[in-house]
Structure 1
Amino acid sequence: MKELIRTTPPEVGPVRAFNDYAQETGEYLAAGLEGAANTQKAYAGDWRRFTAWCTQVGRSSLPAALETLAGFVTHLAAEGKKVATIQRHCAAIAKAHQLQDHPSPTDEKKFKVLLKGVSRKKGVRQKQAPAFTLAHFKRVVQSIDLSRPKGVRDRAILLLGLAGAFRREELVSLDVEHLRFDEDGLVIDVQRSKTNQIGERDEKAVFFAPDRRTCPVRAVKDWLDLLAENGRTTGPLFVSFYKGQRLTRQRLSTDRVNLVVQEYLGPEYTAHSLRASFVTITKLAGSDDAKIMNQTKHKTTAMIRRYTRLDNIRQHNAAQDLGL
């Protein structure tokens, strides 16, 4: 019994002064407020625009008065900016105030009334990435020239992007080590995403398709084989090329993914069309929202409805179920 009783306190190391934690606390707080990399980039540009305008009109940007923000919003509206763009600028301004522990004028009741008025006057309908049909997508993929490394890569991007309902940021952030093949297909470890900023474990499953020409799993394997032939068995999954189709070690950019989609599917589409088309195609095929959300990682069914592109009035219409 005596052996269990400590006669001296355990060593815990030197005690830090409370103020020593202040800088680290601030860094953690900032990381919690900053959000996704793309959001940070957009906010930074919006904040620069706001501070430049404040300088021109002789107003303080931080902290900003309610009248200052109201004037800036009116300025943006007069320039013809869309409601979504104005709202993003306001979010950037609010974020800057949060980071500096200032009350934000965006929380003022009068400002919310102003923003509501702008929305009513300008309308809030947002331009969305269009969805393509499965038939169109298959024709495009089957026609890709696979004699060139770029064709092998681009086919893998398109098929994996659609089958995995990936955002372009997620696609370009994938490493070879994030892929795991089995008899059913491919499991992908998604390190981070727009809805998973803290790196919780998240996975997506991609399955073998009957037609080898449009099989996302085989397309990825073909690309991995090409990478391995060039000594690349780790690191970025999708990389850029030198002129002459020589592989680089540079991770593909999100802008390049957008160009790949437009090159093959048409200029009216964007990289986000891959994700929107996944939702639309599977919804029309009868998948319920829970199954779709398991792949897209959306948090609410409302987002599934927003992503579903049913441009044809006869698509998914309950009038067909009347039985007349």
Structure 2
Amino acid sequence: MATESQLPAASSPPAVQVPAHLVKSTQRYVESGLRGAANTVRAYAGDWKRFAAWCGLHQLAALPAPVEALVGFLTELADAGKKFATIERHAAAVAKAHELAGVESPTADKKIKVLLKGIAREIKTRQKQAPAFSLESFKRIIRSIDVTVPAGLRNRALLLLGFTGAFRRSELEALNIEDLAFDEDGLVVTLPQSKTNQLGQAEEKAIFYSPDSAVCPIRSLQAWLRVLERTEGPVFVSLRKNNQVTSRRMTTKYTNLIVQQYLGSQFTAHSLRASFVTVSKLNGADDSKVMNQTKHKTSAMIRRYTRLDNVRQHNSAKELGL
């Protein structure tokens, strides 16, 4: 029985003839397939907790939930000024909880689809996207970091690796020293798992040397690894106030804070990835090359990630020949 702070356990797999010694394994695989990536599970668990608490407050069942309960909950989120993406994710968490429990979800009802469409129209579906920075401003900021202390060495390595590798912040958080392979050509980072690669098929990202050692992602990462003085475990770890290195893996929350500390409050950790796409496109890289690093599956996603808000940045009027 699930508590209100966690998603329900997966229901029993469909009734098929499975040898007795394989039943437990089958159940485990079904649950893994239903749940998805670890970060998604954590997000959904928080959303489900809020929905269950709301239902309890209003004396409504959370599982299975009546359509009216979800209508009221989503409406309250919209009236509270929540972003549409947040509201949509809460609905997805409710759907996932019902799927795991093997019961019909209220999200299947047409009323919910109409409600979400109306909410999207009123609050405007365009999400506020993390802005991109220019390459020159980024290099200037990197050069200004105090690398005489461990915090500076770590933060410089994180920013440069995050940008040149087009990493998601969850990927940076999960990175282990064992995932790094250095050679004379540069660095290959192996990602055992990612948001778009939940089946654990290894993906690789290539990082290259920069002729300017002050902004070189590989030399910066190597300088940080020398501080760690070990050959395995998390790459990016927390520091105590006296700059003492710990063995605790740094969380995505702090990745965001580090980006904002150096780049400004308008940026987020996602700006590293968006800026990689934008700078690459401005420098003439085709979509296939960009996708080879970002691991996006379609060119449409590359277009979505490209931040070309300045009308002069990417404009064929420059090429008219006048």
> Does structure 1 residue 245 correspond to structure 2 residue 243?
yes
Q: Secondary structure at the match of 1:199?
A: coil
CA 1:66–1:20 in 2, change beyond 3 Å: closer, same or farther? farther
> Does structure 1 residue 99 correspond to structure 2 residue 97?
no
Task: Please give the alpha-carbon distance, in whole angstroms, between the structure 1 residues aligned to 2:77 and 2:241.
Answer: 42
Q: Which amino acid aligns with 1:170?
A: E
Displacement of 1:147 in angstroms is: 1.3
Q: Secondary structure at the match of 1:235?
A: coil
Displacement of 1:193 in angstroms is: 1.0
Task: Please give the alpha-carbon distance, in whole angstroms, between the structure 2 residues aligned to 1:265 and 1:176.
Answer: 26
Task: Please give the alpha-carbon distance, in whole angstroms, between the structure 2 residues aligned to 1:104 and 1:297.
Answer: 32
Q: Secondary structure at the match of 1:203?
A: strand
Displacement of 1:189 in angstroms is: 0.9
Task: Please give the alpha-carbon distance, in whole angstroms, between the structure 2 residues aligned to 1:303 and 1:113.
Answer: 26
Q: Secondary structure at the match of 1:156?
A: helix
Displacement of 1:151 in angstroms is: 1.2
Task: Please give the alpha-carbon distance, in whole angstroms, between the structure 2 residues aligned to 1:174 and 1:107.
Answer: 38
1:266 to 257, 264, 267: 264
C-alpha distance after superposition, 1:261-285 (max 9, x if no partner): 1111112211111111101111111
Query: What is aligned with 2:285?
Result: 287
C-alpha distance after superposition, 1:17-49 (max 9, x if no partner): 845644433322121121222211211111111
Write the mapping of 1:124-273 to structure 2, written as runs, cut at 5 A.
124-228=125-229, 232-273=230-271
CA 1:287–1:267 in 2, change beyond 3 Å: closer, same or farther? same
Q: Which amino acid aligns with 1:105?
A: P
Task: Please give the alpha-carbon distance, in whole angstroms, between the structure 2 residues aligned to 1:104 and 1:22.
Answer: 26
Task: Please give the alpha-carbon distance, in whole angstroms, between the structure 1 residues aligned to 2:18 and 2:118.
Answer: 51
Aligned residue pairs total: 306
Query: What is aligned with 2:82?
Result: 81
Structure 1 vs Structure 2 CA RMSD? 1.8
Deviates more, 1:301-310 or 1:237-246: 237-246
Q: Secondary structure at the match of 1:97?
A: helix
> Does structure 1 residue 53 correspond to structure 2 residue 51?
no
Task: Please give the alpha-carbon distance, in whole angstroms, between the structure 1 residues aligned to 2:314 and 2:34.
Answer: 40
Displacement of 1:233 in angstroms is: 2.2
Displacement of 1:58 in angstroms is: 2.1
Query: What is aligned with 1:112?
Result: 113
Query: What is aligned with 1:9?
Result: none
Query: What is aligned with 1:301?
Result: 299
Deviates more, 1:82-91 or 1:105-114: 105-114
Displacement of 1:103 in angstroms is: 1.8
CA 1:73–1:241 in 2, change beyond 3 Å: closer, same or farther? closer
Task: Please give the alpha-carbon distance, in whole angstroms, between the structure 1 residues aligned to 2:80 and 2:246.
Answer: 42
Task: Please give the alpha-carbon distance, in whole angstroms, between the structure 1 residues aligned to 2:20 and 2:103.
Answer: 21
Query: What is aligned with 2:14?
Result: none
Q: Secondary structure at the match of 2:231?
A: coil
Q: Secondary structure at the match of 1:150?
A: helix
Q: Secondary structure at the match of 1:309?
A: coil
Displacement of 1:323 in angstroms is: 4.5
* Structure 2: runs of 5 or more not aligned: 1-16
* Structure 1: runs of 5 or more not aligned: 1-15
CA 1:145–1:323 in 2, change beyond 3 Å: closer, same or farther? same
Task: Please give the alpha-carbon distance, in whole angstroms, between the structure 2 residues aligned to 1:45 and 1:101.
Answer: 20
Query: What is aligned with 2:13?
Result: none
Q: Secondary structure at the match of 1:243?
A: coil
Task: Please give the alpha-carbon distance, in whole angstroms, between the structure 2 residues aligned to 1:195 and 1:257.
Answer: 20
> Looking at CA atoms only, which structure, 1 or 2, has the larger radius of gyration?
1
Q: Secondary structure at the match of 1:181?
A: strand
Task: Please give the alpha-carbon distance, in whole angstroms, between the structure 2 residues aligned to 1:49 and 1:240.
Answer: 29
> Does structure 1 residue 44 correspond to structure 2 residue 30?
no
Deviates more, 1:283-292 or 1:56-65: 56-65
Displacement of 1:111 in angstroms is: 2.2
Task: Please give the alpha-carbon distance, in whole angstroms, between the structure 2 residues aligned to 1:133 and 1:279.
Answer: 11
